[in-house]
Structures are given as structure tokens and as C-alpha cells.
């Protein structure tokens, strides 16, 4: 621990000198007596001060948690020699908050003493956190010397975003070759009835529809839709976000993306991730629970990085965007680069659906008439962007945190149903 | 703050000359105001200044009014020390730290112990001084050398710690 004198030392030394010099100058022993209470503690205290050896261990109840979860953190403080006053602060990162106990405490330790401090933290926001940044300050009995140190007992804590309730998802237009839960548009071996056709050599006998054959007086077989999986790319826009207090569009977007990833992976779809922003990050499509954790871990690293470089979809590796993949974009539609990139993806004939995390609720129109007009123009421009996507056949659902994601996605599904009929 | 005001009031009470009484009250007011400012702005540097201002009228009284050994000096020393310690403690204990139960009691006990030791030690010093006062210039020189030596030792100790 690094020692430093407390402000008392120089003050008491100065007072002692002043009173003693005054005593000598005025030849008054009473002034020497005034110096006594400042001189004696100083001499004795500095002589007896010994650097404390304090050990601190940090234990976090678990390494992973969900948003709004509470978890216990245990600090074990021990020392061989007495410490009159040990001030201990566990720095709690932004995004976590102390529910009970105190992260800043003062202790008095005796000979070979050990204390355990317990505190309860609430995970307010998703993210990757490092717990264990501890600041120590020890004082001697007379408060003349201060020892300070900083300990780094790294304990990693991953707080996953709270999943949204989502019963139904946006179904892809095209499916892939592997078996899955999505009823394909193609005909083949499957469960779902598709159509009837005349028997052809090579058809299995069990596929003959005897009832229909009896009516038509010729052999008719059932055709079925196979169940296939789909490729789904979750496109997270991290160019910009709107923030109000502790809420931000990025928080909502990450929560929605994590929920969508989980739901698609449950259906045995291959899911990939593109975090398109100041820093481009991607995950190639994959299946299973491993992919789910990879996606969520990647989402925890999401942050807004300001970057003025123009980016389009050509910077995304081709293998990340498989042909006929469904792209679900989660974006606040605040940055023109993201807006253009999505239009570009549609132009490349990707099946695209957009969940717009609305930034309107995060902004205030302002007081002056000019501010109000500017706000109205901004809202109108956003409407125009949405209308532009709809003209391109892209469903856009506007989501704010006061509405369930399920209801918002229902709007996307309805739009896509309508679009399919109009194409036929 | 209350300690500073109380000490100033007591010094005003024991001062005899009217001019000195007014000066003492003024000094007490200035010292208390300085202390209050320092505590609010968290500037420990003002504490020794406030103590000096608080003690200044007594030094003046010793120079102009009081003849012979003043036996009230140990009490005043304890009061000044208590004011300084309380001011430092109020700075140290302020903040968001949760203190263990008994912290304040231990501090008050320590302060009381130091104050009592100051009074006892000061009384002994004054008694010794009174006993050797008539022994001549050699004793005076010895006392002066002891004072200078004490200052030098403290300066060395402080310099070693702060250096």
C-alpha cells in the first residue's frame, strides 16, 4: 500500500513550530504548552505508524445473470496486524446497482482479523462487467498517515438481456435444405398437405388418396410440403442510438435481437448476426444452443461507436449473408448509412423485415416554435423512410418499449401476408 | 464549529481589557467562519489557520495582560487540539462510507483521552517550568535549545514521511 501523510501532519507540525517559536520569542512557557498536544501525537504517531497488510477476496454468486436479476457479492477482508480505520470501496460498474449492503464501508480490523461483507447487486442493464475493482484506504490510530491501494480482483459477470415474450415470429419466404420447423413452399416429403395430383410411376402406394381416387375414378396421390429450416440473419444497427436517462434504443434493440435469435434457433433455423455500425461485427449462421450463446455474447459487446466513414453492405462478408436468407433488421433508422444498407439488401433480393426501435419516444420537441417545427419535420422524414421501405415490399414495424414485441411483429406478419397475395 | 465558538467565548471571558475582549470575540468569529468555510468546501488547509487565529488573542493576552505562569494554558491547549481534531474528523467521516457501529464512540474516547493527557502533560510542564524559573539563563537556554530541537526533530520526521 502506498503511504502518504494526512493533512494533519503538516498542519500539526506547523502549529507546533509556530507555538514553540512564539514561546521562545515571548519567553512564555504557556505557548510551549499550546504546542504540546500537536507535537506529541505527531512524534509518537509517525514513529509507531506501520504499513498495514490487508488482503481482500471477492466472490460473486454466479458468473451469468439476466437483467433485473439480483446476486450476492461477498468481500472477505483480512489483516495480520490491526488497522484502525480501513475504508473499502468496491467500484460498482454502471449498469449494476447496490440493493442491500454497502459497497463503501469503513472497518476496524484487529490482530489476524477477518471480516466478510455481503452486498446484493441488481443487474440493471445487460452487458459484460468486471467486478473486483477495489479501492482501499487505511489510516493509523491518530490519522496521521494514510495508506492507499487499488486491487483488481477480476470477476467477470455477464448480464444477458431480458427476453421479450414472443409467441410467433416472422416466417421466412424461402427455406433451406435441412429439416426444420418451417413448412416449405416446395412440394416433397412432409407432413403438411399441399395438393392432389394424378398418380405417376414411382409414387409410393401410401401416398395414394383413396377417397379422392374413388371420386375421380383414377389414382390420385397427395402432395405435401416438407418441413425445412431457414437461414435468418439478424441485422443490428449500431451506428447511432437515442438515449433518455437509462433507456436507449440500443438496449431495446439488443433485447429484441436476443429474443429473436432464441426463438429462431428453437425452430432449428440457422441464425447469423450482423452488427452494422461504427465497428462491423458478424457471426456466420449456425444452429443450436452454442450459436445462441455466441450470439448473445456478441450482443453484449454491442456499443455505439461513432464513425464518419461511409459503409455499405459490400463490407459484409458474403458467407454471412447466404442466398434466400431472411434478414430481420433491428434499427432505430437514425443513420443514413443503415437506411441505405437495408435498401441495398432489398435490392439484392434478400427477404427483409425491419423492426424499427422508435427513437421518437426518446426525444422532446423543444420549447420554441422552430424546435417544434424541426421535430415535426424529423418525424415526417421518418414516416417517409418507412413509406419508402413499404414501397420496396419491406415490412416495417415500429416498436417502443411500451408495446410488446409480439404485437409489433404481428404487423410485420400481416404486411408480409398481404405482400405475398399481391405477388401471386 | 461549536468548539471554536466556545473556546473564543471562554477566552473573551478570561480577557480583562475591553479592547482585548472585542479582539477575542472578533478572532473567534473569524476563526469560526474560516472553519465553516473550510469544512463546507472540504479544505483542510484552513484548519491550522483557524487554530492560529483562535489562539492569537491568548498570545496577545500573555504578552500584555498576564503576568506569571498562566495555569489555564493546558486547558486552552486541550480545547484547541479538540477543535482541530473535530474539524479533521468531520472531514474524514463525511461521505458515503458506512461506518461500523462504535466508530464514533471510539473516536470520542480517543479525543477525550488525548485532551486529558494534554491537560496532565501541560500541567506537569508548567509545574516544572515554575520550579526551574529562578535558576538563571542556563535553564532558559536549555529550554530554548529543547524547543528548537523539538522543532528540528518534528521537521525531520515530517520531511521523512512526506518526502
Greater confidence (B138 vs A178) lies with A178
* Residues of chain B numbered 27-56 and touching chain A (CB < 8 Å): 44-45, 47-48, 51-52, 55
Yes or no, beta carbons of A104 and B95 under 8 Å apart: yes
- Cα Rg for chain B, rounded, in angstroms? 18
Same domain assignment for residues A61 and A40? no
Q: Hey, what's the cell of B107?
A: 473516536
- The pLDDT assigned to B159 comes to 67
Looking at A160, A179, A209, the residue that finishes a domain is A160
Query: Which residues from B are below 8 Å from A10, CB to CB?
Result: 158, 162
The three grid cell numbers given for residue A286, joined into one nine-digit string? 449456425
CB contact under 8 A, B158 and A141: no
| Of residues A384 and B9, more confidently modeled | A384
Instruction: Report A:79-138 residues touching B (Cβ under 8 A).
Output: 85, 87, 89, 102, 104-108
Residues A61 and A129 in one domain: yes
Percentage of chain A exceeding pLDDT 70: 99
Last residue of a domain, one of A30, A48, A66: A48
Q: What is the pLDDT of residues B119-133, one digit of tens each?
A: 998 888 888 877 776
Q: Is the pLDDT of residue A377 over 90?
A: yes
**Chain B residues close to A8, C-beta within 8 Å:** 44, 88
Nearest-CA distance B128 → chain A (Å): 10
> Closest partner residue to B125 among A9, A33, A104, by Cβ?
A33
**Which residues, in sequence order, are CB contacts of A205 under 8 Å at separation 6+?**
none
Coil/strand/helix, residue A132: strand
Q: Which residues of B touch A86 (CB under 8 A)?
A: none
Which of the four pLDDT bands, split at 50, 70 and 90, describes residue B137?
low
pTM: 0.69
CA distances from A399 to A239, A300, A354, A357, A365 (A): 18, 21, 10, 5, 20
| A189-196 average pLDDT score | 85
DSSP A92: P
**Each residue's pLDDT tens digit, A297-337:** 898 888 877 777 777 888 888 888 998 899 999 999 999 99
Same domain assignment for residues A283 and A412:
yes
Is A310:A335 a contact under the CB 8 Å cutoff? no
Mark whether A40 and A129 lie in a shared domain. Answer: no
Q: How large a percentage of chain A has pLDDT more than 90?
A: 29
User: Do A129 and A44 have their domain in common?
Assistant: no
Of A385 and B101, which is predicted with more confidence? A385
A12-50 pLDDT, tens per residue? Answer: 888 888 888 888 888 788 888 888 888 888 878 877 778
pLDDT digits (tens, 9 = 90+) for A98-153: 998 888 888 888 888 888 889 999 998 888 888 888 998 888 888 888 888 888 88
Residue of A nearest to B71 (CA): A30
Are residue A335 and residue A407 in the same domain, yes or no?
A: yes
If you average pLDDT over every residue of chain A, what do you get?
87
Q: Would A188 be classed as within a structural domain?
A: no
Q: Which of B44, B115, B151 sits opposite A7 (nearest CB)?
A: B44
Cα distance between residue A8 and residue A37, in whole Å? 12
Any idea how long chain A is?
424
Nearest residue to B68 via CA among B123, B147, B133: B133
More confident residue, A71 or B100: A71
- Is A255 a member of any domain? yes
Amino acid at each position: 500500500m502506498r503511504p502518504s501523510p494526512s493533512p494533519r501532519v503538516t498542519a500539526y507540525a506547523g502549529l507546533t513550530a509556530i507555538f514553540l517559536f512564539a514561546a521562545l520569542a515571548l519567553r512564555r512557557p504557556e505557548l510551549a504548552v499550546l504546542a504540546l498536544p500537536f507535537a506529541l501525537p505527531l512524534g509518537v504517531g509517525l514513529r509507531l505508524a506501520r504499513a498495514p497488510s490487508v488482503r481482500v477476496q471477492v466472490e460473486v454468486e454466479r458468473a451469468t445473470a439476466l437483467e433485473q436479476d439480483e446476486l450476492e457479492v461477498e468481500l472477505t477482508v483480512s489483516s495480520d496486524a490491526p488497522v484502525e480505520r480501513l475504508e473499502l470501496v468496491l467500484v460498482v460498474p454502471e449498469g449494476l446497482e447496490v440493493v442491500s449492503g454497502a459497497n463503501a464501508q469503513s472497518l476496524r480490523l484487529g490482530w489476524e482479523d477477518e471480516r466478510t461483507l455481503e452486498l446484493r447487486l441488481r443487474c440493471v442493464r445487460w452487458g459484460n462487467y468486471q467486478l473486483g475493482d477495489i479501492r482501499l484506504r487505511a489510516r493509523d490510530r491518530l490519522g496521521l498517515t494514510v495508506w492507499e491501494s487499488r486491487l483488481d480482483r477480476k470477476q467477470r459477470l455477464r448480464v444477458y438481456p431480458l427476453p421479450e415474450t414472443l409467441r410467433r415470429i416472422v416466417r421466412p419466404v424461402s427455406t433451406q435444405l435441412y429439416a426444420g420447423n418451417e413448412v416449405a413452399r416446395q412440394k416433397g416429403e412432409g407432413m403438411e398437405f399441399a395438393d392432389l395430383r394424378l398418380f405417376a410411376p414411382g409414387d409410393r402406394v401410401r401416398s395414394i388418396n383413396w377417397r379422392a381416387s374413388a371420386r375421380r375414378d383414377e389414382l390420385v396421390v397427395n402432395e405435401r410440403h416438407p418441413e425445412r429450416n431457414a437461414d435468418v440473419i439478424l441485422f443490428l444497427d449500431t451506428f447511432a442510438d437515442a438515449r433518455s436517462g437509462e433507456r436507449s434504443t440500443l438496449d431495446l434493440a439488443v433485447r429484441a435481437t436476443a429474443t429473436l435469435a432464441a426463438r429462431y434457433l428453437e425452430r432449428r433455423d440457422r441464425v447469423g448476426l450482423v452488427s452494422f455500425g461504427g465497428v462491423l461485427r458478424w457471426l456466420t449462421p449456425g444452429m443450436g444452443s452454442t450459436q445462441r450463446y455466441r450470439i448473445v455474447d456478441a450482443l453484449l459487446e454491442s456499443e455505439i461507436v461513432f464513425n464518419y466513414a461511409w459503409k455499405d453492405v459490400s463490407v459484409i462478408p458474403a458467407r454471412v449473408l447466404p442466398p434466400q436468407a431472411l434478414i430481420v433488421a433491428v434499427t432505430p433508422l437514425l443513420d443514413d448509412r443503415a437506411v441505405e444498407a437495408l435498401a441495398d439488401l432489398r435490392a439484392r433480393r434478400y427477404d427483409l423485415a425491419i423492426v424499427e426501435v422508435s427513437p421518437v419516444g426518446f426525444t422532446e420537441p423543444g420549447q420554441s416554435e422552430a424546435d417544434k417545427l424541426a421535430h415535426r419535420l424529423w418525424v415526417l422524414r421518418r414516416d417517409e423512410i418507412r413509406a419508402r421501405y413499404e414501397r420496396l415490399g419491406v415490412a416495417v414495424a415500429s416498436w417502443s418499449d411500451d408495446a410488446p414485441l409480439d404485437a409489433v411483429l404481428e404487423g410485420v406478419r400481416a404486411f408480409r401476408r398481404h405482400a405475398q397475395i399481391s405477388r401471386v | 464549529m461549536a468548539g471554536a465558538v466556545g473556546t473564543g467565548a471562554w477566552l473573551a471571558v478570561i480577557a480583562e481589557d475591553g479592547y482585548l475582549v472585542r479582539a477575542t470575540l472578533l478572532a473567534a468569529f473569524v476563526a469560526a467562519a474560516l472553519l465553516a468555510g473550510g469544512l463546507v468546501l472540504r479544505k483542510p488547509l484552513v484548519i491550522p489557520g483557524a487554530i492560529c487565529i483562535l489562539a492569537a488573542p491568548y498570545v496577545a493576552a500573555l504578552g500584555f495582560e498576564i503576568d506569571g505562569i498562566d495555569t489555564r494554558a493546558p486547558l486552552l491547549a486541550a480545547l484547541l487540539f479538540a477543535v482541530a481534531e473535530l474539524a479533521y474528523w468531520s472531514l474524514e467521516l463525511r461521505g458515503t462510507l458506512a461506518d461500523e457501529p462504535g466508530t464514533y464512540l471510539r473516536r470520542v474516547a480517543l479525543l477525550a483521552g488525548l485532551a486529558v493527557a494534554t491537560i496532565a502533560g501541560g500541567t506537569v510542564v508548567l509545574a516544572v517550568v515554575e520550579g526551574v524559573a529562578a535558576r538563571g539563563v542556563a535553564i532558559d537556554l536549555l529550554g530554548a535549545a529543547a524547543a528548537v530541537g523539538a522543532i528540528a526533530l518534528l521537521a525531520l520526521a515530517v520531511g521523512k514521511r512526506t518526502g
